[in-house]
Amino acid sequence: MILVSIIIALILERLGARSAHWQISHYANGYLNRSVNLLTNKGLFGTATGFLIWLLLPVIAVGCVYFLSDFALWQLVFNVAVLLVCFGCAKQRALYKSYLNALTRGDQTAASLYALQLGQKRTQDQQGGETVGQTLAWVNFRFYCAVIFWFVVLGVAGAVFYALVRTFADLVSDNRDEVIAKH
């Protein structure tokens, strides 16, 4: 069932599950916006342990829904839907497409900027730099391989937990100055 779920989810993701509703960031941002008061006040969720508990609440909810269903077809559909959401990397896909378009136009400056937005730390020309292929391998690992690993090891709840942690880590790294100012 695990392998079948992964294969179906990968096929459907490649065929076009690219709308906002198939992206984990859509749900994670909604969850964060609805519970910002719980996180900013110095209550239970204002601590590191509280944040971990807050992060585990959707994971526990997804795990309960999965384990309460006793029908194999429903579990398969649920696995595929959750994997599609956890795989969601429309932003990175659009950046890569823009990178390729910039290369086609011969615009090396724009291509370098898109590569940096994809997650490249230093360009290939700089000392200790990396190629775009290395950056893409890392993006694929983060959005596909790691999700599959945690899905195989911990089930659908593990995939959701990893995807939430990845999404919030990206949010913190993108808005580091704002997050530090708030806390």
Longest dimension (CA), the chain: 56
- 14 vs 7, which has greater pLDDT? 7
Q: List all residues 6 or more positions away from 142 whose beta carbon is below 8 Å from its beta carbon.
A: 166
Global pTM reads 0.84
User: Tell me: the pLDDT tens digits for 145-172?
Assistant: 999 999 999 999 999 999 999 998 888 8
Q: 93: which DSSP letter?
A: H
The count of domains in the chain is 1
Please list the helix, strand and coil fractions of the chain in percent, rounded to the nearest 5, in that order: 80, 0, 20
**Structural domain span for residue 52:** 2-182
Question: Tens of pLDDT along 68-80?
Answer: 988 999 999 999 9
What count of Cα atoms within 13 Å lies in the side-chain half-sphere of residue 129?
A: 12
Name the CA dihedral angle for 32, 64, 71, 26, rounded to a multiple of 10 degrees: 0
Tokens of 36: 């910002």
